[in-house]
Structure 1
Amino acid sequence: MTLLIAIVSLLGTVAIFYICKMFYKKYKKEWLTPMLITPLVIIGILLLTGVSYNSYNSGASVLTNLLGPATVAFAVPIYKNVNLLKKHAFEIFISIAVGSAVAIVSSFMMALLVGLNDELVHSLVPRSVTTPIAMDISNMIGGSPTLTAVFVMTTGILGSLLAPIVIKVCRFHRPSSRGLMLGMGAHGTGTSKAFEFGELEGTFASLAMIVAALISIVLSTTIFPVFEHLVINILLP
């Protein structure tokens, strides 16, 4: 029975995703994005059938394990446009470094303002990094990798939903601006969204996501502990 549930959960998740993707392509509504609708449909099915999350995840965890290879696959468009990326290397590095620092600081300060405990604070800090790396960072700084995965998913979905509005309002016309914003602000989900705008947008988003992850690892394990100590023990005694 357990094996049957695992098989059904795996195949069912894939089927639900592709059905949601078909609706998204047909109606082109941002709120119909598969990254948002698929989890909601699955949650509804689990509640109606009474199947536990652990039973469902026994099969669907295969998809989670593919996050790593999927992230590595983003290197392909980067390789194809390496000359363009070299041309803008300085701007890319500076913008992503600033974006990573702002993401960490804003997450930490927001968590303090709403009174979250230490575990939740450290789980929220790496929310702007792609899931596999964010979970590792969370574990290193004393957070809960599971909670971090939820925060990352929420950040990615909200970022991909709000990005078209921000792009339109701010009139971002350059592929580099669109791509870097989506990759930095919404990591994997944002990168997927960037490819809907074009290959160059997707390329810049892929690079932003990868570089942001590397910079965030360094910042979270070196500068962040010092900043946290300064804020909690000196500024907020």
Structure 2
Amino acid sequence: MTFLVAVVSLLGTIAIFYGSKTVYVKFGKAWLTPILITPLVVILILLVTGIPYEMYNAGGHVLSNLLGPATVAFAVPIYKNIGLLKKHALEIIVSITVGSTVAITSSFVLALLIGLNDELTYSIVPRSVTTPIAMDISTMIGGSPTLTAVFVMTTGILGALLAPMLIRACHFNTPSAKGLMLGMGAHGTGTSKAFEFGELEGTFSSLAMVVAALISIVLSTTLFPVFEQLVMNSLLP
């Protein structure tokens, strides 16, 4: 019985994803993005059927395990677009370094201000990095990878929803500006949105997402502990 549920949960999750993707492509509404609709439908099914999450995850974890190979696959867009990366190396590295620094520090300070506990605080810090890398960073700094995945999804969805308005408000006209903003601010979901603007926007977004992941790993293990200590010392009486 458990094996049957595992198989159904795995195939069902894939079917729900592709079904929601079809609906999204047809109607083009940002709130219909598969990354939002798929987990909502899965949650609804589990609540209605009463299937325990542990039983569902017997098959669903296969998809989670694919995050490892997905991390390695990030080398592909860098290799394919190495010429573009070299040509725009300065603007990419500077903008993504600034963006990653602001994302990490602002998340930490915001978490302290609203009084989150340590686990939630360290889980929200890598929220602006693509999921597989963010989960690894979360583990390294003492957070919960599962909670981090939720924060990453929320950040990505909100980023993709707000991106068109920000692009118009800030008068971003070049593919590099649009793509780097979406890749840095909304990672995978933002990259999908960037490709809707154009191939160059999507390419820059892919590069931004990968570079942001690499830079965030370095910042989280070097500068973040120093920043954390400075902030905590300033809060002590």
TM, length-normalised to structure 2? 0.94
Which residue is 1:8 aligned to? 8
Which residue is 1:85 aligned to? 85
Gaps in structure 1 of 5+ consecutive residues: none
1:78 touches 1:203 (CA, 8 Å); kept in 2? no
Distance in 2 (alpha carbons) for counterparts of 1:75 and 1:195: 19
1:71 touches 1:188 (CA, 8 Å); kept in 2? no
Alpha-carbon distance change, 45 to 134 in structure 1, aligned in 2, over 3 angstroms: same
2:71 touches 2:133 (CA, 8 Å); kept in 1? no
Distance in 2 (alpha carbons) for counterparts of 1:74 and 1:195: 17
Which residue is 2:182 aligned to? 182
**Would you say 1:125 and 2:125 are equivalent positions?**
yes
Q: Name the % identity.
A: 77
Q: Which moved more, 1:5-14 or 1:76-85?
A: 76-85
**Would you say 1:142 and 2:142 are equivalent positions?**
yes
Distance in 1 (alpha carbons) for counterparts of 2:113 and 2:15: 41
Residue 81 of structure 1: how far off its partner (Å): 3.1
Gaps in structure 2 of 5+ consecutive residues: none
Which residue is 1:224 aligned to? 224
Residue 236 of structure 1: how far off its partner (Å): 4.5
Residue 74 of structure 1: how far off its partner (Å): 4.7
1:75 touches 1:206 (CA, 8 Å); kept in 2? no
The alignment's C-alpha RMSD in Å is: 1.5
Distance in 2 (alpha carbons) for counterparts of 1:228 and 1:164: 34
What are the Cα deviations for residues 108-163 of structure 1, in whole angstroms up to 9, with x where unaligned?
A: 01101100111111111111111111111111111111211111111111111211
TM, length-normalised to structure 1? 0.94
Which residue is 1:106 aligned to? 106
Alpha-carbon distance change, 20 to 174 in structure 1, aligned in 2, over 3 angstroms: same
Which residue is 1:151 aligned to? 151
- The one-letter amino acid of 1:204's match is F
| Count of paired positions | 237
Which residue is 1:198 aligned to? 198
Q: Which moved more, 1:66-75 or 1:19-28?
A: 66-75
Distance in 1 (alpha carbons) for counterparts of 2:89 and 2:175: 15
Which residue is 1:63 aligned to? 63
